[in-house]
Amino acid sequence: MKSLRFLSSRVTMVAVAAASGALTLLPAPTVAHALPSELPAAPAGAAPQTIENPGFPAAHFYKPRSGRKMKPVVVYLHGRGGNPEEGCRQWAKVATEFGWLLCPAGQEDRGPGARGWGNDPINSQKNVMGALNALRGKFGRKVQLYGNVLIGFSEGAFIAQNVGQKEAKTFNRWLIVASCDRYFGFDKTVLEDARKKLKRIYLWTGESDMVVKESTATFEHLRSLKIPVKLNVAQGYGHEIPAATMTQNYRKALRWLVAAK
């Protein structure tokens, strides 16, 4: 597989393309105040816990905010050069409302605190599944094994789009930030086996991201396979995870994903 390049950039409005093909413009709130109905966020600055992942770097995780029964797992795959602990801390602001948050660390060492996935979906699949199985091994049936949410950003989006199709029963809901149809390997039939298992996919891309056209191609590809999919093109953003407005940007997306039966 050819080497893929991953980018980096900038902050507000949303274009939502639903599975029906309709496109609507929704002005996004300019202030990220929490709504009264929201659950309290993870404690400010609270560090994630870690769990050993044999053969790979330790993964980070947060427990669900409430409940003692089995909960779904939201798995976040960071971008190239990202700090897995910091990325996990950012996603905890919104993801722990819906269940466990698990953040595997890419197997490539890119300097102090920085990791990558080495453009390697095969070993990355082992890494991700190993982290999930380790979490299940530690906490038992409180951790859901199937029907979970997979989030990927940038190089993590490439890994998520590849791992997600191979592990479609485990991860049948995706949130892809900066998606790209090339990440499926230029093979239009690549999702044929997975498509009946996939429940919902949400694509979020900044309007000035260099992959915005390819995110649109991803949306059209998924829609052609009759996979329920939405595309948000967020105005004022580039190639980034908007850390200051996590709840504002991703809460509705995660709520939509986990609502699928």
Q: Determine, yes or no, domain membership for 179.
A: yes
How many helices and strands in the chain, by DSSP H and E?
5, 12
Q: Determine, yes or no, domain membership for 228.
A: yes
Question: How high is the mean pLDDT of the chain?
Answer: 86
Rg (CA), the chain: 17
Q: What percentage of residues in the chain have a pLDDT greater than 90?
A: 77
Q: Which CATH number fits the domain that encloses residue 178?
A: 3.40.50.1820
CA-nearest of 252, 206, 205, 199 to 226 is: 199
Question: Which residue did the predictor score with more confidence, 236 or 3?
Answer: 236
Question: Which residue did the predictor score with more confidence, 68 or 109?
Answer: 109
Q: Determine, yes or no, domain membership for 71.
A: yes
Q: 261: pLDDT confidence band, cut at 50, 70 and 90?
A: confident
Residue with tokens 């050819």: 2
Residue with tokens 């905010």: 65
Q: What is the pLDDT of residue 203?
A: 98
Beta partners for residue 56, in sequence order: 53
Q: 190: pLDDT confidence band, cut at 50, 70 and 90?
A: confident
Q: Determine, yes or no, domain membership for 73.
A: yes
**Contact between 157 and 82 (Cβ < 8 Å):** no
Domain count for the chain: 1
Mean pLDDT throughout 44-52? Answer: 86
Q: Determine, yes or no, domain membership for 190.
A: yes
**Contact between 115 and 84 (Cβ < 8 Å):** yes
CA 202 to chain centre: 9
pLDDT tens digits, one per residue of 135-185: 999 999 999 999 999 999 999 999 999 999 999 999 999 999 999 999 998
pLDDT score of 51 more than 70? yes
Q: Determine, yes or no, domain membership for 131.
A: yes
Q: Determine, yes or no, domain membership for 41.
A: no
Helix (H) or strand (E) holding 61: strand 56-62
pLDDT score of 25 more than 90? no
Q: 115: pLDDT confidence band, cut at 50, 70 and 90?
A: very high
Q: Determine, yes or no, domain membership for 163.
A: yes
pLDDT score of 104 more than 80? yes
Q: What is the pLDDT of residue 189?
A: 85
pLDDT score of 30 more than 90? no
pLDDT tens digits, one per residue of 54-65: 999 999 999 999
pLDDT tens digits, one per residue of 66-95: 888 999 999 999 999 999 999 999 999 999
Of 12-26, 35-49, 163-177, 234-248, which range is least confident? 12-26
Q: Which domain holds residue 122?
A: 14-25+48-258
pLDDT tens digits, one per residue of 192-227: 889 999 999 999 999 999 999 999 999 999 999 999
Strands (E), 89-164: 100-103, 108-109, 115-116, 148-153
Query: pTM to 2 decimals?
Result: 0.84
CA distance 54 to 1: 26
pLDDT score of 52 more than 60? yes
Q: What is the pLDDT of residue 45?
A: 59
